[in-house]
Amino acid sequence: MTTGTAPAPTASAAGWTPEPGPAGRAVTALAVRSVRRGAVLVTAVAAGMPALVAVQHRQLDQELAGASLAALAENPAIRTLFGPPVALDDPGGFTVWRTGTAIAVLVGVWAALATTRMTRGEEEAGRWDLLLAGPARLPAVLLRHLAVLLGASALVGVATAAGLVLAGTATTGAVLFGALIGGTGMVGAALGALAAQLLAERRAAAGLAVGVLLAGLLARMVADGVPALGWLHWLSPFGLLGRSAPFAADRVLPLLVLAAAVAVLVAAAVTVSARRDVGSGPWRRPGAVRPGARRLRSLPGLVARHTGRPVVGWGAAVAAYFALIGLLATTMTDFLTENPRFAELAAQAGFAELGSVRGYVASLFTLLAVPVGAFVASRVAATAADEVAGRLTLLYSLPVRRVRWLATELTGVAVGAVLLTGAAGLATWLGATWVGADLSAGAALAGVLNVLPVVAVCLGAAVAALACAPAAVLPLGVLPAAGGYLLLVLADTLSWPGWVRGLSPFAHLAAVPAEPVDVPGLVGLLAVAAVLTAGGLTGYRHRDLRG
Amino acid sequence: MPTSPTAVPALRAAHLSKRFSRTVAVDDLSLAVPPGEVFGFLGPNGAGKSTTIRMALGLLRPSGGHVEVFGVPAHDVGRAHRHLAYVPADVALWPALTGRECLDLLDGVGPGTDLDYRAELVERFALDPDRRARTYSTGNRQKVALIAAFATRAPLLVLDEPTSGLDPLMEREFRRCVAEAAGRGQTVFLSSHQLAEVEAVCARVGILREGRLVEVAGLPELRRLRRSEISVTLARPAAAGAGLTGVDGVADLRWSSPLELTMTLAGPPAPVLRALADLDVVALDVREPSLEELFLDFYGDTAGGHRSAGEEVRA
């Protein structure tokens, strides 16, 4: 080869100049890949549920007129639980009241969890080290992911609006409602992104983001119930949804506030990301620990260590919610005795016997199965994650049978679930006692413990998933509770056949403490849970370990 | 340590196979490691070393054949794992636990630990045990697992590429620990692709390629495997042969020009250096062939470019 021909290397160097375009597009493509499955699911629910309720409203239209509706708006308890009821004579207004908060919570929490998983989760796993070895810098990579997540949230909002328009509601209200739902998703995503920049662990970041969102929900509930604190609405995406009042006042200012909140949170997240080290965060817990007296020498000790914090977090959220339920017990029942018409309608919508304190708390205790079911599913999903990350490899090189470890884990999760339900019962009783409602501690405890069989089915489903479909432990584990609740409400309101309704675990649950315990139903649920758990344990024992 | 022929092997695999859907990771592998032996398990990446070890630990179920630890079937982990300690290639710890907590847990649940020796090992490996595992580097996580394994009195230590994240000082400490373990009569099953490390500590080696055990050999035979490639540049042309033909260990002597020659060397370099001293050498380069090259060589792979050298070693 001859020397002195300089142009060749120069040309090749020019060819290798890193171009931000394709690299950036690759990052965006990666983000799209990791978000699309969840986004499709959430979009389907956010578009389908309100549309379904709006169509259903047509059939109830005549019954929903008159003085009962006017009285609804005056009652603090109703305002607190379902949001401010406005324009209930309008299919859209009724839909916003009936589904708005639930859909907003679903979309917001999903966006927050997806964001922390895709940003801090990937970074914690070390996969962003590879990504950031290329031309892309941390703030740019974060922004690319965030853009995809904000886009996905916007898509959810568009789908919600489209569903309502197709269901025949007013276009302005539908678009506003869709924008607010999408905006709530964006707030969730931006909160998740900021928390993921501040905290160095995905779990802590997800907890912070979801905690702030749910605090927003409680703030809205307080603002609805206590007029003097009405300004709290402006601090919460759920409060802004109420202030905007789609299909009634159709106010746009709250939407602008929501957009400003998203902009501020995104700017804060990007600013923090530009100033921190990769793999670290300003609110990082110190790595060095004083050698303490705490010794960790047993498997139960290990389970207690990594289940304790989640139990405290979930317990605080559940207790706060149910304390509020207890505090509202008397206002609620007073209102219902004065408005028997509403009690009838509530019964039709799946809230039977709201008329007595016991009936009222019993119907809300049923809801408790959803968060506690999600807790057990998330803990089994954490075991699946431990396996993939290789954290179980050392443990299983000890004389520890797989069934022994999993049984130890599940015992810890079950104890956690019992503690969570106990906390909910205690909080309800304390709240109810504070306002002088007629609810004994025993009745409250019986009511919360009554949902444990549904939680057991969730645990069984999660363990069965761990054996057969370890990547889908969380959705399959939550399905009996969240899917079952949704199925029951839909079956009741749309008069679906009995066997469809019977597929829901909630169909086999009595409204304790208003009714006596449904013993055959309870035994049946526990039997299903036992079969699923035993099958899961057997499958887990025999399969190859991943990681 | 002398082993009686009737002793139960520390590790025994018979016709062991593992298939993952279409690929065959381990194919009909039979092997016995007697108690007290330091056994090297060699092979390039993807040869099936870790898969074999994970089957021996009961983490994977064999598609065929079986594997035993001191006569106990590997899937009976409650009994089999009382006889062994393990260091995985990629050590993952619970991020919120400190190194000390990990060590305590492995001691509390494991087959028993010599706590004084463990404290000594923490010093020797220079591990700060009061940090959360989240803040540990790859090497530090590996140290935690190594300390826990060496401090047990388990009769079998299974080490899967245990030094990939260690610096040379720590690697030296590791070799000392293996020697101490062997001195206590512990069996060591060391998987590696670092030939030097295996040569330094192992009495016998097994070589795995594409899931098959292609060779099980003692250390002297392994020494014959280890050949370096020497290139020499001279200031002026030497006489024919230059006195290098027939020198101990020299093979595959080639003159690429009257001033440049290459050869391969097996065994000690002293004879060839004495021969070179008589020539006017201006540059001398000694390169150790990679394990991969040796494999290609030794087993006459069609892709190899050192066929003649391979024949030399085989002869």
Q: Is B171 inside any structural domain?
A: yes
* Residues A347-351, mean pLDDT to the nearest whole number: 58
**Do B232 and B99 fall into the same domain?**
no
The residue among A297, A81, A54, A32 whose CA lies nearest residue A161 is A54
Residue from the list A287, A290, A394 with its beta carbon closest to the beta carbon of B134: A287
SS3 B20: strand
- The amino acid at A172: T
Task: Name every chain B residue with its beta carbon within 8 A of the beta carbon of A396.
Answer: 57-59, 77
B168–chain A nearest CA distance, Å? 25
Within 10 Å of residue A41's Cβ, how many Cβ atoms?
Answer: 12
Q: Does B235 touch chain A (CB under 8 A)?
A: no
- Interhelix angle for A138-166 vs A20-60, to 10°? 30
The pLDDT value recorded for residue A403 is 95
Within 10 Å of residue A290's Cβ, how many Cβ atoms?
Answer: 8
How far is A302 from A305, CA to CA, in rounded Å?
A: 5
Task: Return the DSSP state at A471.
Answer: G
The pLDDT value recorded for residue A279 is 83
Within 10 Å of residue A65's Cβ, how many Cβ atoms?
Answer: 12
The residue among A221, A265, A219, A316 whose CA lies nearest residue A112 is A265
Give yes or no for a contact between B54 and A353, defined as CB atoms under 8 angstroms apart.
Answer: no
Residue from the list B78, B132, B145 with its beta carbon closest to the beta carbon of A394: B145
Q: How would you class B136 by CB atoms within 10 Å of its CB: exposed for 0-12, middle for 13-18, buried for 19 or more?
A: buried
Beta bridge partners of B284: B232
State percent of chain A over pLDDT 70.
Answer: 87
* pLDDT above 50 for A124: yes
Encode pLDDT of A353-392 as tens digits.
556 788 778 888 988 999 999 999 999 999 999 999 899 9
Scanning every residue of chain A, which has its alpha carbon at the shortest distance from the alpha carbon of B131? A288
The residue among A146, A63, A139, A70 whose CA lies nearest residue A111 is A146
Give yes or no for a contact between A211 and A109, defined as CB atoms under 8 angstroms apart.
Answer: no
**Do B175 and B248 fall into the same domain?**
no
* Residues A532-547, mean pLDDT to the nearest whole number: 93
C-alpha angle B96/B99/B105, rounded to 5°? 85
Domain count across chain B: 2
- Strands B187-192 vs B38-42: parallel, antiparallel or unpaired: parallel
| A369-393 exposure pattern, b = at least 16 Cβ within 10 A, e = fewer | bbbbbbbbbbbbbbbbbbbebbbbb
Within 10 Å of residue B296's Cβ, how many Cβ atoms?
Answer: 21
* Residues A134-142, mean pLDDT to the nearest whole number: 88
Question: Does the distance separating the beta carbons of A287 and B135 come in below 8 Å?
Answer: yes
B268 contact partners, CB below 8 Å, separation of at least 6: B248, B249
State percent of chain A over pLDDT 90.
Answer: 58
- The amino acid at A542: H
DSSP structure string for A25-68:
HHHHHHHHHHHHHHHHHHHHHHHHHHHHHHHHHHHHTGGG-SHH
B109 contact partners, CB below 8 Å, separation of at least 6: A297, A298, A299, A395, A398, A399, A400
DSSP structure string for A489-546:
HHHHHTT--HHHHHTSGGGG---TTTS---HHHHHHHHHHHHHHHHHHHHHHHHSPPP
Positive or negative torsion for Cα A91, A94, A96, A99: negative
Give yes or no for a contact between B95 and B133, defined as CB atoms under 8 angstroms apart.
Answer: yes
**Do B187 and B91 fall into the same domain?**
yes
Name the residue with higher pLDDT: A473 or B192: A473
Q: Is B2 inside any structural domain?
A: no
* Residues A507-527, mean pLDDT to the nearest whole number: 92
Q: How would you class A146 by CB atoms within 10 Å of its CB: exposed for 0-12, middle for 13-18, buried for 19 or more?
A: buried
Last residue of a domain, one of B164, B195, B220: B220
Within 10 Å of residue A312's Cβ, how many Cβ atoms?
Answer: 12
Task: Name every chain A residue with its beta carbon within 8 A of the beta carbon of B93.
Answer: 391, 394
Within 10 Å of residue B171's Cβ, how many Cβ atoms?
Answer: 17
ipTM of the complex model: 0.81
- The amino acid at A143: L
Encode pLDDT of A213-268 as tens digits.
999 998 988 888 777 888 999 999 999 999 999 999 999 999 999 999 999 999 99
Q: Count of A–B CB contacts within 8 Å?
A: 109
Task: Name every chain A residue with its beta carbon within 8 A of the beta carbon of B96.
Answer: 305-306
Last residue of a domain, one of B173, B195, B220: B220
Question: Does the distance separating the beta carbons of A389 and B57 come in below 8 Å?
Answer: no
Residue from the list A389, A398, A544 with its beta carbon closest to the beta carbon of B106: A398
- The two three-digit tokens of residue A129, written as one number: 């080290």
Within 10 Å of residue A521's Cβ, how many Cβ atoms?
Answer: 16
Flag the least confident range among A36-45, A321-330, B146-155, B164-173. A321-330
pLDDT band at A349; cut points 50, 70, 90: low
Within 10 Å of residue A348's Cβ, how many Cβ atoms?
Answer: 13
**Do B75 and B200 fall into the same domain?**
yes
* Residues A432-438, mean pLDDT to the nearest whole number: 89
* Residues A116-134, mean pLDDT to the nearest whole number: 89
Q: Does B133 touch chain A (CB under 8 A)?
A: no
Task: Name every chain B residue with its beta carbon within 8 A of the beta carbon of A538.
Answer: none
Q: How would you class A1 by CB atoms within 10 Å of its CB: exposed for 0-12, middle for 13-18, buried for 19 or more?
A: exposed
B219–chain A nearest CA distance, Å? 29
**Do B73 and B192 fall into the same domain?**
yes
Where are any strands of DSSP class E within B21-149?
23-33, 38-42, 64-69, 72-73, 84-87
Which of B77, B131, B153 to probe by mutation at the A interface, max A CB count within 10 Å? B77
- The two three-digit tokens of residue B104, written as one number: 């305590």
Mark residue B92 as left, alpha or beta (left: phi above 0; alpha: psi -120 to 50; beta: remaining).
beta
CATH number at residue B150: 3.40.50.300
Q: Is B261 inside any structural domain?
A: yes
The pLDDT value recorded for residue A346 is 63
Tokens 């470890």, residue located: A405
Give yes or no for a contact between A65 and A89, defined as CB atoms under 8 angstroms apart.
Answer: yes
State in Å, rounded, how far the first CA of chain A is from the last one. 49
**Do B268 and B181 fall into the same domain?**
no
Tokens 């801090």, residue located: A120
Positive or negative torsion for Cα B251, B256, B258, B260: negative
* Residues A41-59, mean pLDDT to the nearest whole number: 86
- Strands B156-160 vs B23-33: parallel, antiparallel or unpaired: unpaired
CA distances from A489 to A367, A493, A516, B203 (A): 11, 6, 22, 71
Task: Name every chain A residue with its beta carbon within 8 A of the beta carbon of B110.
Answer: 398-399
Positive or negative torsion for Cα A159, A162, A167, A171: positive
Last residue of a domain, one of B204, B220, B236: B220
Question: Does the distance separating the beta carbons of B134 and A398 come in below 8 Å?
Answer: no
Tokens 């056994």, residue located: B39
Task: Name every chain B residue with its beta carbon within 8 A of the beta carbon of A394.
Answer: 86, 88, 91-93, 106, 145, 148
- The two three-digit tokens of residue A332, written as one number: 């609620």
**Do B187 and B255 fall into the same domain?**
no
* pLDDT above 70 for A21: no
Q: Is B4 inside any structural domain?
A: no
Q: Is B285 inside any structural domain?
A: yes
A404–chain B nearest CA distance, Å? 10
How far is A500 from A507, CA to CA, in rounded Å?
A: 10
Encode pLDDT of A162-191 as tens digits.
999 999 899 999 999 999 999 999 999 999
- The two three-digit tokens of residue B271, written as one number: 């004879």
**Do B164 and B308 fall into the same domain?**
no
Scanning every residue of chain B, which has its alpha carbon at the shortest distance from the alpha carbon of A302? B105
DSSP structure string for A340-393:
HHHHHHHHHTT-TTTTSHHHHHHHHHHHHHHHHHHHHHHHHHHHHHHHHTTHHH
pLDDT band at A292; cut points 50, 70, 90: low
Question: Does the distance separating the beta carbons of B57 and A396 come in below 8 Å?
Answer: yes
Structural domain boundaries enclosing B155:
11-220
HSE value, Cβ hemisphere, 13 Å, CA-based, for A377 = 25
Per-residue pLDDT of chain B (315 residues; tens, 9 = 90+): 444 445 799 999 999 999 998 899 999 999 999 999 999 998 878 889 999 999 999 999 999 999 999 999 999 999 999 999 999 989 999 988 999 999 999 999 998 899 999 999 999 999 999 998 988 999 999 999 999 999 998 999 999 999 888 999 999 999 999 999 999 999 999 998 777 788 788 889 898 888 999 888 887 676 666 678 889 998 888 776 667 877 888 888 888 888 888 888 877 888 888 888 888 889 999 876 655 566 566 555 434 333 333 333 332
CA distances from B103 to A415, B98, B184, B284 (A): 27, 9, 21, 49
- The amino acid at A479: L
SS3 A6: coil
Question: Does the distance separating the beta carbons of A394 and B86 come in below 8 Å?
Answer: yes
Residue from the list B61, B86, B109 with its beta carbon closest to the beta carbon of A544: B61
* Residues A401-408, mean pLDDT to the nearest whole number: 95
The residue among A480, A503, A482 whose CA lies nearest residue A491 is A503
Q: Does B98 touch chain A (CB under 8 A)?
A: yes
* pLDDT above 50 for A148: yes
State in Å, rounded, how far the first CA of chain B is from the last one. 32
- Phi and psi at residue A75, to the nearest 5°: -90, 120
The pLDDT value recorded for residue B304 is 37
Most confident of A30-39, A127-136, A148-157, B41-50: A148-157
Give yes or no for a contact between A291 and A399, defined as CB atoms under 8 angstroms apart.
Answer: no
**Do B25 and B172 fall into the same domain?**
yes
